[in-house]
A and B are shown apart, each in its own frame.
Chain A
């Protein structure tokens, strides 16, 4: 057999798997987004509506806009908090930082937990009767003593943000430690002998050189925050009410619970828009020429 033919034959199984599990579902979901697509209505999967599903989401669905708002606030808060806290930790743990030995291994633990498991444990720890955090915050902040965290819209949202930040800090810290380690120590010392205090060294020398890594961290975390589902599903299931319903949870609810597959598909494709922007920005950062 000729080499040219053989190489295509060898790669064919992989191509078939990708086609069946990624490409076909993508195309099918795009097709469904233009249909009535109700699981309980036979034939509706082939009943085309044009852009009606999209228009419906924009014009007549406050729940859609609610999930957009929740997702936006959730993304901004989790990205900002995780990045800032991870940067602080990375500065302490990086080579030459204050707490180096041994702690790095501990750091990886939260990252080793699945998001769903983090959701379950946080729900458990904020249980009003026997939850550890519930009791802890009750003592630390007396007005919160008798509050049921997960029943309060604002506090439940705060718990979701806390769980996400807790779970993501380790990974981002490790990435930033790597970034810090690649900054030439000479430039830091050169700044010191040129009269830069600790804060000025950080602001004028460390930060500009860490910027490319920070950029990647922020973009990656934004992508992950935007698509958050499992943790929210296990922790609050979008509630109370729709207070913590992110876009992916909204899509899941409409598609799987109410059987509105066509509508869910159209919202899912709307979510692709910010994702494309972020992925493009990520690619720019990662593959840009030095």
Chain B
């Protein structure tokens, strides 16, 4: 990557006896929207806090714009952050909150006021300048927090699960606000989240972290369609995992012999996305298939996830639409053939 804005080189962070982040290497280009995603305790927030200067790496170097930032205090960096709790100042009104960063940088009063007003206008909060923070709704607070972070026109904005406290409909609206802001301003967003939908819908690249390490980096589609490891396949969700012994072109699993998309030998894990799987009463003529007893269905708006139990007790998921489910009309305990095409399968690292 040419001239990255941010680079982590062999960065590790230890708290007491626990390594929160282990030899992390990551480069982020200017104007990129990168999401750090992973389960709780995977080190994503620690990584973001090290970038902000709120934690010092135990090992390795972090540079921003070519300058090594180890030992540089948070207030000497230009890395504003939006927090899960928003961390607005309750003793200041909306305008004073937005002006705070400018005030700390010694910007004159008139300019502060006009720039704060400009940002409040931009985020549709122009009528709220004199309000107290406690008088705002969750979505309004969110906008104030964004304005406060962006008013200093930073090169990069850090966001730590900024939408996790909002209602579902507000999350979708704020995702739109964030995406368009990032595109218009052309600044780098580093976004920490545990939500797959937030990461996949907004980010240019997603970094999946697990246990303090990077499990996979790539564009959302690549991560979704070609999970690199079993951890990623399981975390990203809606993947069926088949474990067994690869012998050339087939995988010998407890559910039977399944064709592999590539040639491999030894213990192997194969992932098949639930939306690439179909369920039928009759065995399909060709392609891999396994038997499963119908357990339950889960309605999620646009699609339905059906759960089956394989002969070895494992759970198999198939995503179907409403029409298909009506045709199938499964009853509990009924046996179906779950099938997919060979190229929908994907061999992952264990």
Q: How far is the CA of A200 from the CA of B100 in the complex (A)?
A: 11
B51-75 toward A: CB 8 Å interface, digit per residue (1/0)? 0111000000000000000000111
Q: Is B303 an interface residue (CB 8 A)?
A: no
Q: How far is the CA of A149 from the CA of B103 in the complex (A)?
A: 50
Task: Assess the B91–A193 pair: CB atoms within 8 A.
Answer: no
A191 contacts across to B, CB distance below 8 A: 75, 89, 100, 104
Residue contacts A-B, CB under 8 angstroms, 15 given = A187-B87, A187-B88, A189-B74, A191-B104, A192-B53, A193-B54, A193-B74, A193-B79, A193-B158, A194-B149, A195-B75, A195-B104, A196-B75, A200-B104, A204-B100
B90-126 toward A: CB 8 Å interface, digit per residue (1/0)? 1110000000110111000000000000000000000
Q: How far is the CA of A179 from the CA of B148 in the complex (A)?
A: 26
Q: Is B20 an interface residue (CB 8 A)?
A: no
Task: Assess the A192–B89 pair: CB atoms within 8 A.
Answer: no
Please tell me the size bucket of the interface on B: 20 to 34
Task: Assess the A193–B52 pair: CB atoms within 8 A.
Answer: yes
Q: Is B228 an interface residue (CB 8 A)?
A: no
- Which A-chain residue is minimally distant from B74 (CB atoms)? A192
Minimum CB–CB distance from B311 to chain A (whole Å) comes to 51
Task: Assess the B89–A187 pair: CB atoms within 8 A.
Answer: yes
Q: Is B316 an interface residue (CB 8 A)?
A: no
- Which B-chain residue is minimally distant from A290 (CB atoms)? B134
A180-205 toward B: CB 8 Å interface, digit per residue (1/0)? 00001011011111111100110011
B85 contacts across to A, CB distance below 8 A: 184, 186
- Which B-chain residue is minimally distant from A209 (CB atoms)? B91
Q: How far is the CA of A209 from the CA of B77 in the complex (A)?
A: 25
Q: Is B339 an interface residue (CB 8 A)?
A: no
B53 contacts across to A, CB distance below 8 A: 192-193
Q: Is A208 an interface residue (CB 8 A)?
A: yes
Minimum CB–CB distance from B148 to chain A (whole Å) comes to 7
Task: Assess the A184–B87 pair: CB atoms within 8 A.
Answer: yes
Minimum CB–CB distance from A213 to chain B (whole Å) comes to 13
A-B contact count (CB 8 A): 73
B interface residues, Cβ below 8 angstroms from A:
52-54, 73-75, 77-81, 83, 85, 87-92, 100-101, 103-105, 148-149, 152, 158
A203-235 toward B: CB 8 Å interface, digit per residue (1/0)? 011001101000000000000000000000000
> Interface centre among A196, A201, A211, by most B CB within 10 Å?
A196
Partner of A194, one of B73, B80, B91: B80
- Which B-chain residue is minimally distant from A212 (CB atoms)? B91
Interface of A is mostly: helix
- Which B-chain residue is minimally distant from A207 (CB atoms)? B91
Task: Assess the A193–B73 pair: CB atoms within 8 A.
Answer: no
Given contacts A186-B83, A200-B104, contact A193 B89 (CB under 8 A): no
Task: Assess the A196–B87 pair: CB atoms within 8 A.
Answer: no
B81 contacts across to A, CB distance below 8 A: 189-190, 193
Q: How far is the CA of A191 from the CA of B73 in the complex (A)?
A: 12
Q: How far is the CA of A271 from the CA of B42 in the complex (A)?
A: 63
- Which A-chain residue is minimally distant from B104 (CB atoms)? A195
Q: How far is the CA of A204 from the CA of B99 in the complex (A)?
A: 12
Q: A186-B85, A192-B73, A209-B91 are in contact. List 13 more A-B contacts (CB 8 A).
A: A184-B87, A186-B87, A187-B88, A187-B90, A193-B52, A193-B54, A193-B79, A193-B81, A194-B80, A194-B148, A195-B75, A197-B73, A201-B75
Task: Assess the B75–A192 pair: CB atoms within 8 A.
Answer: yes
Q: How far is the CA of A272 from the CA of B105 in the complex (A)?
A: 49
